[in-house]
Structure 1
Amino acid sequence: MSISTDDNDKILFVQTGGTIDKDYPRSTGGYAFEFGEPATIRLLDRLQPSFAYTVATAFQKDSLEVTDQDREELATLIGKASESRVIVTHGTDTMIDTAKYLQLAKNERLLKHKTIVLTGAMRPERFSNSDAPLNLGAAIAAVQLAPAGSVLVTMHGVVRPAQEATRDMETGQFK
């Protein structure tokens, strides 16, 4: 099977941090998780996809530390990218906020014709019981099937437009 290199078929994966990308501490005596290479790289290596892709890092932050300036930089990175399909891995606490920011930004600039899907994980990809593989897989399907110009959130087997995405803060489930 040949892999298309047309940028309309290529998917851009953008790392922003969050639980999906957290890794065990590399320093001795470290107790907090650290950010390392994008979890997407390991997941795609296992998948061996038949589509072309690029992986980029916008920033590596816990989502509670993401600012509107970070969101603006993310929007700029996406806008400048040649790919029309984009998956953003993001922390779950403010993922919906970032999706809504990108939804508003898409009307103002080069994001108009981009299909953007945000996803993440409740447990780091490094954990054997992580939800990262399922969530990334759902994002890959969604970004290929959604109409151009869509901004979606996909978590827990649910895909919703940014403006309709909600989260039950008691259970942590996205709806």
Structure 2
Amino acid sequence: MKLVFIQTGGTIDKDYPQKTKGWAFEFGEPATTRILEKLNPSFEYEIITAFQKDSLEITDEDRLNLAQLINSRSEQKFIITHGTDTMIETAKCLTEHIKDKLIVITGAMLPERFYNSDAPIQLGAAIAATSLLKTGVFIAMHGIVKSSATIKRNLDTGLYY
């Protein structure tokens, strides 16, 4: 069974700009591509980009388009890389609009391009979760995997629990 990775942006995919004059980040190739090259996975996969936005800029329309994209696919298992600030909102929206598929949302606190990034471990946890879970919408962050109905975030520490 094929696993579909969907890039939506967020810190995990931020990169240094290819231009001069500034420290701003920009989005480019999905971080998932580089992480999977190192993993050398024994499963079939595809990586697609839905959009590339900071999660604070994701709209309800973006979330509905994401749900439509997933519903239009024949595959059953999806991992969405997403910014951490609005991950829960996206998970709740997808729960309302997608049935009989497995979606695991993950992200990173530091860009994958940083040497000390948490991106590989977060994506690894999401991949492992797809081997164990059947259907529903889940978030994999900080060493836990929880459903969209039970996941919470401590806004002081940034940690999901």
TM-score range with shorter-chain normalisation?
over 0.9
Q: List alignment gaps of at least 5 residues for structure 1.
A: 1-8, 107-111
User: Hey, what does 1:3 align to over in structure 2?
Assistant: none
Q: How many residue pairs get matched?
A: 161
AA partner of residue 64 (structure 2): E
| CA distance in structure 2 between the aligned counterparts of 1:52 and 1:153, rounded to whole angstroms | 22
Distance in structure 2 (CA, Å) of the matches to 1:104 and 1:143 = 20
- 2:35 and 2:65 map into 1 onto residues whose CA distance is 25
Cα-to-partner distance string for 1:31-70 (whole Å, 9 max, x where unaligned): 2000000000000011010000000000000000000000
Q: Pick one of 8, 29, 43 that aligns with 1:16.
A: 8
Partner of 1:131: 118
1-structure distance, mates of 2:120, 2:146: 18
Q: Could you tell me the percent identity over the aligned residues?
A: 60
> Residues 101-120 of structure 1 correspond to what in structure 2 (within 5 A)?
101-106=93-98, 112-120=99-107
- Alignment root-mean-square deviation, CA: 0.7
Q: Does 1:38 align with 2:24?
A: no
CA drift at 1:30: 2.6
- Which position in structure 1 is the counterpart of 2:88? 96
- Give per-residue Cα distances to partners, 1:74-105, cap 9 Å, x unaligned: 00111111210000000000001100100111
Aligned to 2:158: 172
Which amino acid in structure 2 is aligned with residue 68 of structure 1? D
Deviation at 1:130, TM superposition (A): 0.5
Instruction: Give me the whole-angstrom Cα distance separating, in 2, the residues matched to 1:58 and 1:129.
Output: 27
Question: How far apart, in 1, do the equivalents of 2:21 and 2:150 lie?
Answer: 43
Q: Structure 1 stretches (4+) deviating beyond 4 angstroms?
A: none
Is the contact between residue 85 and residue 144 of structure 1 (CA under 8 Å) also seen in structure 2?
no
Q: Which residue of 2 aligns with 1:156?
A: 142
**What is the identity, as a one-letter code, of the residue corresponding to 2:113?**
R
**Of 30, 51, 71, which aligns to 1:59?**
51
Instruction: Name structure 2 gaps, 5 residues minimum.
Output: none
3-state DSSP class of the match of 1:164? coil
1:22–1:124 contact (8 Å) kept in structure 2? yes
Separation of aligned partners in 1, 2:17 and 2:74: 35
* Matched letter for residue 119 of structure 1: T
- Code of the residue aligned with 1:126 in structure 2: it is R
Structure 1 length-normalised TM: 0.90
